[in-house]
Structure formats: structure tokens, C-alpha cells
Amino acid sequence: IVKLGADPVVKNPLLMPLSSPISSNNTSALFLSGENIQIMNGTIVSPDSSIGANTYIGFNCHVTRANIGSFVSIADGVFIGPGEHSLSEISTSSIFYDEPYSVLTEGECNIGDDVWIGAGCIIRRGITIGFGAVIGANSFVNSDVPPFAVMAGTPAKLIKFRFEKDFQEKI
């Protein structure tokens, strides 16, 4: 990214979905917020997202308007914050929205540091996943996840905590 006056000018913009893996060590993008970030082929990341250092995102993922922490591992085929259509309107078609992207992506997704999300998961809009949590493969997360929780299923339910409460507080 090069600054030309007050506006940034993007040289060689990333095309989505990615046709080859990228690393923040040799690629610049607005959503890369640290070093040693790896994103694999077929993944789509919206430019209004943020991805922290030492994070891995697998093949064929979709990340929409999300804040992802550092040291996060996201397996293949994960959808974070896909658009959601309003059920209270006359029609669910986004053609009737004045600003479709804003309406469909209302509510940020926040993924804390040191989170592991298994393959094939869907994380709904507006969800927060706490520090150190683990989401089992093929889970549908439709409510906030506490720190260090291990959650799995459709919808995702608490299986256990990774550590006892006193050890969690020390971490």
C-alpha cells in the first residue's frame, strides 16, 4: 500500500478468493494486523476485517467483518460472520435493502487470542469467542463463547473448560 496524498493507493491488490496462499511476511493488505499470518488458497477475507499476528486461516474459508486475534488457528472451510438476512422485513431479499452489505453484516464477530476453530464451522454475526477457546469441527456457533471453553455441536454447546478457573485466572 502506497500513500498518495491522504488516500492509500493499493499496488497489486489481492484478488479474492485467494488463488495461492499468502503470508503477512511478504504480502500487504489492510486486514493483516501483524506478522507471520498465513492464509490459504480459496479463502475470502473482507477488507473491513482484522487478523492478528501468528494466525493461520485454512483453505476455502470466508471471513466477513471480523476481528481475529493473535495465535488463532482456523481450519479449512470455516465461515466467520456470513451475511444474515432480516426475518422481520416483508422480503428476505437484499435487493430491498438501501445498503445491503451494512444490513447483512450488522454486528462484528470477535475472535479472541489463542482460539482454535475446527474444520467446517460457522460462526454467526455478532458472536464473540473468548481467549483460548476451542470450537469443535462442524459446529454452528450462535452464542458467545467464554474464555477457555471447549464447544461443539449444532448449535454449539459447552463440553468443558480447558483449565480450572484458578488456572484460567493465572493465564
> pLDDT digits over 28-41, tens only?
777 888 899 999 99
Q: Kindly indicate the confidence band of residue 12, based on its pLDDT and cuts at 50, 70 and 90.
A: low
Q: Is 85 considered catalytic here?
A: yes
Q: Which is catalytic among the residues 35, 41, 47, 85?
A: 85
Cis link prior to 146 (omega < 30° from 0)?
Answer: no
pLDDT at 2: 42
pLDDT at 54: 96
Q: Kindly indicate the confidence band of residue 8, based on its pLDDT and cuts at 50, 70 and 90.
A: low
Q: Can you tell me the distance from the alpha carbon of 102 to that of 64, in angstroms, rounded to the nearest whole number?
A: 11
pLDDT at 70: 97
Q: Can you tell me the distance from the alpha carbon of 168 to that of 60, in angstroms, rounded to the nearest whole number?
A: 33
Query: For 81-139, what is each residue's pLDDT tens digit?
Result: 988 887 887 888 888 778 878 878 888 899 999 999 999 999 999 999 999 999 999 99
Residues 6+ apart with CB under 8 A from 85: 92, 93, 94, 104
The amino acid at residue 131 is: F
Query: For 33-88, what is each residue's pLDDT tens digit?
Result: 889 999 999 999 998 999 999 999 999 999 999 999 999 999 999 999 988 887 88
Question: Which has more confidence, 156 or 8?
Answer: 156
Here the cell at position 16 is 479474492
